């Protein structure tokens, strides 16, 4: 399985757990391999043959990986009660698609819902053929919708997802795939053209406003939007719904189940809200204008009892760099005290963030605010041994001059103030 973002990537063997860091020059070939290449194409590229020698690629008669399929099916057994009423062809199409996928793009905050979830979403559209717009399709919702006879248009920024979907869809499917950045104005031909839209954005207010406004602009009279809303993002969703003046006609609690790139269940679920425009609905942004929100790939979070939070003050802006933090984190991994199954780096408004998923629902987030000379560490669930090691790492990276002078416990969190 490959995970990449701009200038960086990682390969992981699902069979052994072994990991390889990718160089920038490796990224294009790994993304091509993840999409699946015909044998005659592989013979044309020395890079492909070299990748095969390194164990990154093998010849196969099918793009569906039986091992991946078994892992996904094992996760779905946790929700066997959801599967009895699934449209079987829709579920099978998405399951096969997920079993063929070998790449995630961390820069786009991709995290897939389980195939059973995707099939249940698609079933809500109904059996009569409809025009459906999918805003971002990293979980391959389009495959389920196509199996149910709908006419589907996908707007997707990740070219690897576009390529994979095109390869997996039936030749006779009514499918239009557009490589498109939602921050750009909506193509005029899509205005008021659809009976329904699907969106599963991250839960921050900027992303919710952008996806909902674009989806509403694309709805024909009487159309509906299906929007996924996490628990942490519920307040932001409600605020955006009020701002745009939309009707939330139905909301299904904990409808969506997700999994991580290491094929473990994600620690969160999300609701599915069905929204409809009203006569006084206001689109902000308008469909003909670009929109560049801050925090587009940043999730809303809320404090929970088992999580720990550390605050460091008077940090050294010069040494507070993600590259230094990443080096120290990898040293800590080699000691066996930290197991990172997925990591992402991003910078937004001067805030440098390093997010790690540690398996079994665990997560670690480091936020560096050099302009304010402040650093934060979040560990969920709380783990005193891991936290102690991470604090030592942070102290080595951010160059704090001083000692701990105060310890507070708030909702089970630790707050360390450094002076």
Angle value at C-alpha 373, between 369 and 374, nearest 5 degrees:
60
Per DSSP, 138 falls in state T
Inter-residue contact 147 to 89 (CB < 8 Å): yes
What are the structure tokens assigned to 63, written together?
Answer: 């793009």
Per-residue pLDDT tens for 146-171? 999 999 999 999 888 998 899 899 98
- The residue-averaged pLDDT of 121-136 equals 96
As a whole number of angstroms, the distance between CA 146 and CA 132 comes to: 10
**pLDDT surpassing 50 at residue 416:** no
Task: Specify whether the backbone of 136 is left (phi greater than 0), alpha (psi in -120 to 50) or beta.
Answer: left
Residue burial 360-372, b: 16+ Cβ < 10 Å; e: rest: eebbbbbebbbee
Per-residue pLDDT tens for 174-186? 999 999 999 999 9
What are the structure tokens assigned to 368, written together?
Answer: 């560096």
Q: What is the DSSP string of 19-80?
A: EEEEPGGGHHHHHHHHH---HHHHTT-HHHHHHHHTTS----S-S--HHHHHHHHHHHGGGH
Backbone angles phi, psi at 284, to 5 degrees: -130, 105
Where is average pLDDT lowest: 57-66, 123-132, 238-247, 355-364? Answer: 57-66
Residue with tokens 């839960």: 203
- Cis check for the bond before 381: say yes or no (omega within 30 of 0): yes
Domain boundaries, the chain: 1-61, 65-277, 308-418
Per DSSP, 198 falls in state E
E strand or H helix that includes residue 143: helix 141-147
The count of other CB atoms within 10 Å of the CB of residue 379 is 25
What are the structure tokens assigned to 307, written together?
Answer: 């999580």
Identify how many contiguous H helices and E strands the chain contains and give both numbers. 13, 18
The count of other CB atoms within 10 Å of the CB of residue 390 is 23
Per-residue pLDDT tens for 290-306? 988 666 666 665 544 45
The count of other CB atoms within 10 Å of the CB of residue 217 is 23
Per DSSP, 276 falls in state E
SS3 breakdown of the chain: % helix, strand, coil, rounded to 5? Answer: 35, 30, 35
E strand or H helix that includes residue 247: strand 246-259
224, 90, 208, 343: CA torsion to nearest 10: 180
**pLDDT surpassing 90 at residue 202:** no
Percentage of the chain lying above the pLDDT 90 cut: 38
CA distances, 185 to each of 161, 214, 231 (Å): 21, 9, 29
What are the structure tokens assigned to 45, written together?
Answer: 């590229």
Query: How remote is the C-alpha of 225 from its chain's centroid?
Result: 20
The CATH architecture to which 308-418 belongs is 4-Layer Sandwich (3.60)
Per-residue pLDDT tens for 13-40? 777 777 778 888 777 777 777 655 555 5
- The residue-averaged pLDDT of 52-76 equals 80
Which residue, among 222, 359, 209, has the nearest Cα to 284 in the 3D structure? 209
pLDDT confidence tier of residue 124, bands split at 50, 70 and 90? very high
Mean residue pLDDT across the chain: 83
Q: Is the domain defined by 65-277 classed in CATH 1.10.390.10?
A: no
Where is average pLDDT lowest: 39-53, 178-192, 342-356, 379-393? Answer: 39-53
E strand or H helix that includes residue 230: strand 219-230
């Amino acid at each position: 399985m490959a995970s990449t973002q701009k200038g960086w990537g990682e390969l992981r063997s699902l069979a052994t757990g072994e990991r390889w860091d990718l160089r920038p020059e490796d990224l294009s070939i790994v993304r091509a391999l993840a999409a699946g290449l015909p044998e005659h194409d592989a013979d044309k590229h020395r890079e492909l043959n070299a990748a095969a020698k390194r164990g990154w690629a093998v010849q196969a008669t099918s793009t569906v990986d039986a091992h991946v399929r078994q892992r996904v099916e094992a996760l779905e057994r946790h929700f066997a009660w959801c599967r009895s009423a699934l449209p079987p062809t829709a579920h099978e199409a998405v399951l096969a698609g997920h079993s063929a996928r070998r790449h995630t793009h961390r820069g786009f905050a991709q995290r897939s819902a389980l195939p059973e979830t995707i099939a249940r979403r698609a079933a809500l559209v109904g059996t009569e053929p409809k025009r459906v717009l999918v805003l971002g399709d990293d979980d391959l919702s389009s495959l389920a919708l196509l199996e149910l006879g709908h006419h589907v248009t996908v707007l997707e920024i990740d070219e690897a997802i576009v390529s994979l979907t095109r390869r997996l869809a039936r030749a006779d499917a009514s499918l239009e795939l557009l490589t498109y950045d939602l921050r750009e104005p909506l193509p005029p031909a899509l205005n008021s053209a659809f009976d329904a839209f699907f969106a599963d954005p991250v839960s921050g207010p900027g992303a919710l406003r952008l996806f909902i406004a674009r989806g509403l602009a694309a709805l024909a009279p009487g159309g509906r939007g299906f929007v996924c809303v996490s628990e942490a993002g519920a307040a932001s969703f409600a605020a955006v719904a009020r701002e745009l003046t939309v009707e939330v006609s139905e909301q299904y609690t904990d409808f969506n189940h997700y999994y991580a790139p290491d094929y473990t269940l994600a620690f969160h679920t999300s609701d599915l809200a069905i929204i409809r425009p009203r006569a006084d609905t206001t689109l902000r942004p308008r469909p003909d204008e670009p929109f560049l929100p801050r925090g587009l790939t940043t999730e809303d979070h809320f404090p929970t009892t088992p999580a720990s939070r550390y605050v460091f003050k008077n940090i050294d802006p010069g040494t507070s760099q993600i590259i230094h933090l990443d080096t120290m984190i990898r040293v800590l991994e080699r000691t066996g005290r930290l197991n990172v199954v997925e990591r992402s780096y991003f910078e937004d408004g001067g805030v440098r963030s390093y997010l790690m998923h540690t398996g079994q629902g665990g997560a670690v987030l480091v936020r560096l605010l050099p302009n304010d000379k402040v650093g934060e560490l979040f560990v969920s669930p709380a783990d005193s041994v891991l936290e102690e090691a991470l604090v030592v790492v942070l102290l080595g990276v951010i160059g704090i001059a001083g000692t701990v002078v105060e310890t507070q416990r708030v909702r089970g969190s630790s707050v360390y103030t450094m002076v």
